[in-house]
Amino acid sequence: MSKPSASPRTEVRRKPQRAHHDTATIHAIIDQALVCQIAFNQGGSVHCLPTACWREGEYLYIHGANNSRLTQTLLEEECAVSITHLDGLVLARSAFHHSMNYRSVVIYGRFTAEDDPDAKAAAFKAFVEHVSPGRSSLVRPPSRAELAGTRLLRLALDEAVAKIRNWGVEDSEEDMAIPVWAGVQPLALTASPLQPEPGSGGRMPPAAPVFIGRA
């Protein structure tokens, strides 16, 4: 397991004590993500778009249509990908010291295409398992035509950095006597009750990702 290389782009200048460069931390944050944000330059205009994502080994994967301008641009230009999990609201005694607890990753680089049909099929199976563990064995896999019409891109995790805040209030000493509640309001991603399609009655309900709780 290689460690992402340090670079000027992965140097955290604001609150550097929150930075993490180890592979295990970066992988763990990516593995709890269903969506990432991709910032890129297209024709002199800057864009930032959300898309589904998953990790296999040392790569972040996304997919899109073959004729998508987004996927073509990502093959031609470098980009920045961000993932953030909001874990809590930090409610301080002063307005200035309010904050949030979070886990985030930023990845820099250029996507490459995976064109081998078998590799694409394996990657999309991994995506279905990421979304709903065990589901890939229950549904129809992509056809050759569907695989041919979909572009699979991957981004090496060679240049990546994590940033984490996971502690409580940091009030100034002069604010400690203010008579107001202070602390952390934890937040978590939770699945709501299922909304089945007609004909799904009596079928085994799908599993949620292991990092998502059930209401």
User: What 3-state DSSP class applies to 79?
Assistant: strand
Q: What is the pLDDT of residue 152?
A: 97
Closest by CA position to 104, among listed 80, 81, 85: 85
Q: What is the pLDDT of residue 112?
A: 97
Domain boundaries, the chain: 12-86+101-165
Q: What is the pLDDT of residue 99?
A: 97
| Of the options 3.40.1350.10, 2.30.110.10, 2.50.20.10, 1.10.1740.10, the CATH number for the domain spanning 12-86+101-165 | 2.30.110.10
Q: What is the pLDDT of residue 138?
A: 94
Query: What is the 3-state composition of the chain as percent helix, strand, coil, each rounded to the nearest 5?
Result: 25, 35, 40
Q: Do residues 186 and 87 lie in contact, with contact meaning Cβ atoms separated by under 8 Å? A: yes
The string of pLDDT tens digits covering residues 121-177 is: 999 999 999 999 999 999 999 999 999 999 999 999 999 999 999 999 999 999 999
User: Would you say the pTM of this structure is higher than 0.85?
Assistant: yes
Does the pLDDT of residue 2 top 60, yes or no? no
Q: Which residue is associated with the tokens 């899109």?
A: 64
Does the pLDDT of residue 3 top 70, yes or no? no
The string of pLDDT tens digits covering residues 7-50 is: 888 788 787 778 889 999 999 999 999 999 999 998 889 999 99
Q: What is the pLDDT of residue 52?
A: 97
The string of pLDDT tens digits covering residues 181-212 is: 999 999 999 999 999 999 887 888 899 998 99
The string of pLDDT tens digits covering residues 85-101 is: 999 999 999 999 999 99
Does the pLDDT of residue 4 top 80, yes or no? no
The string of pLDDT tens digits covering residues 113-123 is: 999 999 999 99
- Residue by residue, DSSP assigns 30-76 as HHT-SEEEEEEEETTEEEEEEEE-EEETTEEEEEEETT-HHHHHHHH
The string of pLDDT tens digits covering residues 60-89 is: 999 999 988 889 999 999 999 999 999 999
